[in-house]
Copies of this chain bind each other. A is one copy, B any other.
Amino acid sequence: MLSERRLQVLRAIVQDYVGTEEPVGSKALTERHSLGVSPATVRNDMAALEDEGYIAQPHTSAGRIPTDKGYRLFVDKLAGVKPMTAPERRAIQNFLEGAVDLDDVVARTVRLLAQLTRQVAVVQYPSLTRSTVRHVELLSLAPARVMLVLITDTGRVEQRVVDCPAPFGDASLADLRARLNSRVANRRFADVPSLVEDLPEAFEHEDRGTVSTVLSTLLETLVEENEERLMIGGTANLTRFGHDFPLTIRPVLEALEEQVVLLKLLGEAQDPGVTVRIGHENAHEGLNSTSVVSVGYGSGGEAVAKLGVVGPTRMDYPGTMGAVRAVARYVGQILAES
């Protein structure tokens, strides 16, 4: 177990390194933080911290920088979440309230997060999984071609074209539309399959094939679209990394293009609060020198999607966590209102 002072030293190292981007030495530490002890003592503490793996030196006889493990301890024990100031909160709210539709909400959220944190922002579209169906619409495009439109309570719209095995009359279509909606409107996605199971039986024999086809397309849409979409922004902030970074930025950009990777990244965070994954804690190799700060957000009490930022492990964790948390909260409010 580390003594109280050593934890203080670690905290000071993290703070200074985040501020200056340079390895921090014992002398500079005692000057900038009133630890009440001499550099020599700090050196001993540093040696101990290094033995434990919390800090490391890039080269012999250079200052120390925190390791992933050091940041982890810092985040878990030494730092809180820095709340947004009142003006910041107001600005967030104002900016988000201007949104006209779901796409716009997500787009604005991304820009906001990127600006607040000066890092790369990632926002997942509200998931269908926990949503409810607001309405299902069926349109006849051709005698044997139907368009299925699904509208969710989060304002998302999905459409699919269905090729029917047999021509399908307008009357049957209206009938199906009515029956379908009376059963699934305001129901959760998860409940839909069992609710429509016996629907084909209500129809004439010749229409049953089509009804089944439409239904299975609907179910597919419900499931398939859990391949969530997401939006990213603020990639220009990557250039604020060190100057070393053509090597660093490359794999990050590549990772950001892989939606699957990002979704997994966000998905891993299961905590109710803000989750932080530091450096090598990220499974994806290209993100080994970045940290991901993410949190769930939702229109009601429940989280329906995640959002977060990706930045260098050397980031302002308290500030970033505060910004992420605040944005998530207000996005949730906006979604609930609409």
Contacts and interface: CB of A to CB of B under 8 A. Distances in A.
Interface stretch (A34-42, A249-257, A291-299): A249-257
Contacts of A103: 229
A129 interface: no
Nearest to A160: B101
A161 interface: yes
Contacts of A101: 159-160
Contact of A149 (B157, B234, B245, B338): B157
A238 B233 CA distance: 16
A246 B239 contact: yes
A197 to B, nearest CB: 25
A137 B139 contact: yes
A151 B147 contact: yes
Interface string A128-153: 00000011010101000001010100
Contacts of A229: 103
B245 A257 contact: no
Contact of A236 (B135, B151, B159, B253): B253
A235 B120 CA distance: 13
A150 to B, nearest CB: 11
Given A157-B159, A246-B245, A253-B238, A149 B134 contact: no
A95 to B, nearest CB: 16
A243 interface: yes
B338 A161 contact: yes
6 contacts: A100-B160, A135-B141, A137-B139, A157-B157, A239-B246, A239-B249
Given A100-B160, A135-B139, A239-B250, 13 more contacts: A101-B159, A135-B147, A137-B139, A137-B149, A139-B151, A149-B151, A151-B159, A233-B257, A234-B257, A235-B235, A235-B256, A238-B253, A245-B246
